Amino acid sequence: TRELCPKSTWPRRGTDALSARLLRASPTLASMVFEKSLTAMVKGIRANRGKESDYINTCVQEIQKEVASKNLQTKSTAVLKLAYLNMIGYDMSWATFSVVEVMSHNKFAIKRPGYLASAICFTETTDVGLLTINLFKKDLSSMLSSSRAYLRKKTVLCLYRIFLKDPPALRTCFPRLKERLSDEDQGVLTASVNTFLELARKNARNYLSLVPQLYHILVNTTNNWLSIKLLKLFQLLCPLEPRLPAKLVEPLTNLLNTTKAASVEFEAIRTVLRTLPEGTQLASLAVEKLQVFLNSSDRNLRYLALEVFREALEQPGFRERYPVADLHSKVLCCIEETDPTARMVALRLLDLIVTPSSFADAVKKLMEFSQKSLCADEFHKTILRIGARDCYALVEDFAWYLLILADISRSLDSAHAGEVAEQFTDIIVRVAGVRPYAVQLALSLLDRDPSAASSATAAEDEDINPSTASLEIAPSMLGACAWVVGEFHRDFEGEAEVCFPKAVKALIAAKSVREMEPAIQTLCIWSAFKVTLGAPEHAPGAVAELQALLLAHLPGFVTSTHPDVSERATLALHLTSGPGGASDPCSLAVGGQLFAEPLLPVAVGTQKAMTMPAGLDLDVPFFAPEEAPVASFAPMRADPTDPYALAATYKDDLGFLAAQEAPHASSSTPSGTEHSSIFYLGGSKDGASGAEGQGVGGSSVAAGAQAAAKLDPLEQMRQKLAAARAGATATRYEVLREDVRAPAPAAAAPAAGAAAAGAGGATPAGAGVSALPIPADKELTDLQGRLWSVCFSDDFVRVYACVRSKNQKKQQLRLELRCERLAGENGDAVVADVGLRFPAGVAALEVDASGLLPLAPGALGERAAKVRATLSLAPFLVPALCTLAAEVQYTLTRGGAPERIASPLELTLPPTTFLTHLPTSEDEIATYMADHAAELLTEQTAEAVTLQMPGRTAGDVASELPRLVGRCAGLCNLYGIQQQAPAQNKSQKFLMVARPPAASAQPSPLAGQVALPEAARVVCLCAGMPRDGSLDIKVTVKACRKDVCDDVSAQLVSVFRDLVEGRLRTFG
């Protein structure tokens, strides 16, 4: 004490002696006097700037002594300081046992630092964690019934995390937790309701028994926060209990009419719109209250109103039953919000309220906002999404919409440039009436003069308008324009003899074309050649000029360093100049026949759905592989006597210098000249400019002057469109909304065959219907490879099986099996020669002479390699769950003579393994169901399941649902189509159909394998309801046998669960 205190503060002799006597008598008191508290340690760290590490090391040494103290108060303080140091990066794993000691103390103030430290530093691999299991049970049980409301509240909140980690604990604690709903303390009551709310988000059906207590709390509480939590909980329970919404009418009406809290009022409005039947008086009151939120000056309230309106408008018929005044204008105003979250909600809401009559105004506003905003992509994405909805159902003026797409394409860094180009070409393919204007628009976008931009600086001297600068658009849009000009050159509005040369010049004569991406250059080259092919029919007077243009400019592309560009240019050049090429009028006429048939839109997945012709095996090469030629090339040296001249020179190898000395051949016969070689490096600038300027349409000076005098091409096209529409009636376009699909298979039902024949062999999807995106075969095989299951296990061996893939053409099923040795108490036993014997009637190609499939030849290590088994599908005639009674055999040696063990093994094959997907349309399915309902669809099974997708909004789940169902259909050998419901409907519906195995001439050797009738089908109806954090799926299977319906339905639900929550999880 004297060393720590100044002399002036030393106590007198009698007091000093008394203090020393007390410290000697109580060492614990001495340690408590000199130990640092957490506050003192933190202050010390801050005071030792630059020397924090030294100070902390000193503190750690002190803490190590304090942890060894027998005084638990001192130890608790030490653990608390360690928890702080652990949070800033210092290890405290050496003190985990001391943490457990502190946790086990009876006093709450002492054990609390221990629980805090365990939450920070304990992991699943911490050894002493096993010592805390009973401690947790005892402490939680005592604190849950503690007399202190603070402890009860904290315990109730902690239980939710425990239930997430250990779900069985919920069953044990549920009665005690339910008692807390009657707690007198408002904090405990609110915590209890909040815990039940979070649990109900996982599975609300478990808590329907709590409805009476929850209702009693709702009608009696005055706590706003508690009311909000109760309303959220009732929103989850109402869909499960049909009588509950009617019971909530009175308390909800009272809340809407009496509460002054905007938060409670908002939650009551959302509860009414989510749970109560539409058309009620209370629903009308909720909509009126919601309009007040929408007109509020508080941007937060406006955001909440937009979110609820978006959710309500997704319900069919809401807008007709509850018209909201000025909703469209209010949404457009909210789009200008600076808050990005509110802006995104307003954009999604605009997608729901826009109509064909308001579409043009909405797009105009969005384009204005995009020009003033830094995030133009959000507005462009909304325009593209609304415009493409239901195959351009909202677009009335397609010429105007093409101008909008061209305007969007000016954003060179836009993330949606590819979608703009795709819509541009798709509209022109589908809408024949807009093609003349569209081709002219595409040509105006291509016909650019890059020199105009550089000459804008000379406007004062040359009297040139600076607005003549070149129009810059996204490269993908340039490629789309080039493709449109080449494909629909016959639809030029002006004089063909003028338009065709102008198009070819724009495609290949401009220098800027060679600066574009290789894919764009390739499109330009081939489009120019297609324009030339169509000239004899549509512009016979321009054929010679077009040939001259190709011969003059294609050599510049032949020398490109990009192989695709060079190859395409060389091909076009030889077709133009060679014998029988474009110089031959007969050849040109034949080439023009390529455009005789109209180009139709093709549905996604049609190529995969095509039936493979009989006799075609893609695994067999078309030609016998040729042997690689023997290398006979020997590099030449400029000076053979120089050992360092290892590289061949241009003169010795490629002959460039010799070629320059040789006379140039005629440009009309490029073969054999330097222009036909991809290694040609080009001539002088004078020569290049002279080649481009001769005989291709007049003086370059005059052309430059005309380009300089041009206005903005888009503005010109707008003026042209406005002049054409002035005083004329609105143009009505016919839109081809049906996509071409794969022809129906020959084995389809008679009704389906008739329908396909009536459609000319194609299966139309119909408006509002689209095929599901089925993954590629490789992806499906990889997914199947994750679905391993245990088919046998004893004390020594365990066998796993996986159904990997099916070869429909060869009627074979590929399985993979794997075995492993189980040590356990029989670690000294030796297992060898493991094999599998299939039941009679089931043959595998890989079995040996004795009929045994070797799984692990020789001694079995810890795990054997995978073994393939290829089974014939002939014995399997029913798409039902099939269990093969096989036998596993192995040799076991346990200290004595080896013995051969034979044990039964059950190999289960899923029912959908034996189905074959059947490409069809919704109309064909409807016809089949109407014609065969009484004979082939007499049985059905329905199952509903709720899949958890935490962290995902309902919108995210809805966007992923088609891909999810498509994967399920691919894994289950089903062909699926999506029924696109109205935009306001959140539910999505899908149809999936498959054909069962065909009957064979001989009966199956397996029991119960009796083929279904020839025209039988398995029809599956799937409905998905996206929600925040979950997905409700209902599967209904119809067939002619009940066991088929039951097994296929169970398999579909199992695959859905694996895709979302299990082994195949790729969502969420």
pLDDT tens, position by position, 4-24: 344 444 444 444 443 444 344
pLDDT value of position 657: 39
- Write out pLDDT tens, residues 1012-1044: 888 899 999 999 988 888 889 999 999 999 999
Residue 490 and residue 479 in contact, taking contact as beta carbons nearer than 8 Å: no
Q: Give the tens place of pLDDT for each residue, 627-651.
A: 766 655 444 544 555 554 444 444 4
- Residues 1058, 1064: Cα–Cα separation, whole Å: 5
Supply the pLDDT for residue 675.
41
Output phi, psi for 770, to 5 deg: -145, 150
Cβ(572)–Cβ(554) under 8 Å?
A: yes
pLDDT score of 590: 60
Percent of the chain surpassing pLDDT 90? 31
The stretch 35-64 carries a mean pLDDT of 91
The HSE-up count of residue 200 (CA atoms within 13 Å, CB side) is 26
Query: Residue 84's pLDDT band (boundaries 50, 70, 90)?
Result: very high
Closest of 80, 2, 68, 71 to residue 41, by C-alpha:
80
In this predicted structure, the answer to whether residue 146 has a pLDDT above a threshold of 50 is yes
Q: Average per-residue pLDDT in the chain?
A: 80
CA distance 919 to 745: 8
Give, in order, the Cα–Cα distances in Å from 620 to each of 610, 624, 807: 19, 10, 15
> How many angstroms separate the most distant Cα atoms in the chain?
130
Helix axes 340-353, 376-388, angle to 10 degrees: 20
Residue 234: band (very low, low, confident or very high) from pLDDT cuts 50, 70, 90: very high
Over residues 618-623, mean pLDDT: 78
Query: Both tokens of residue 138?
Result: 């005892």
The pLDDT, as a whole number, for residue 10 is 43
Q: pLDDT band for position 156 (50/70/90)?
A: very high
Using alpha carbons, select from 905, 903, 909, 833 the residue that is nearest to residue 871. Answer: 909
Q: Which of 246, 242, 248, 243 is nearest to 230 (CA)?
A: 248
> Is the model more confident about 683 or about 161?
161
The reported pLDDT for the residue numbered 45 is: 92
Is residue 131 predicted with pLDDT exceeding 60? Answer: yes
Distance CA 747, CA 167 (A): 51
Q: Do 103 and 114 touch, CB atoms closer than 8 A?
A: yes
644: CB partners within 8 A, 6+ apart: none
Question: What angle is formed at CA 321 by the lines to CA 317 and CA 325, rounded to 5 degrees?
Answer: 110
CA distance 293 to 295: 5
More confident residue, 436 or 696: 436
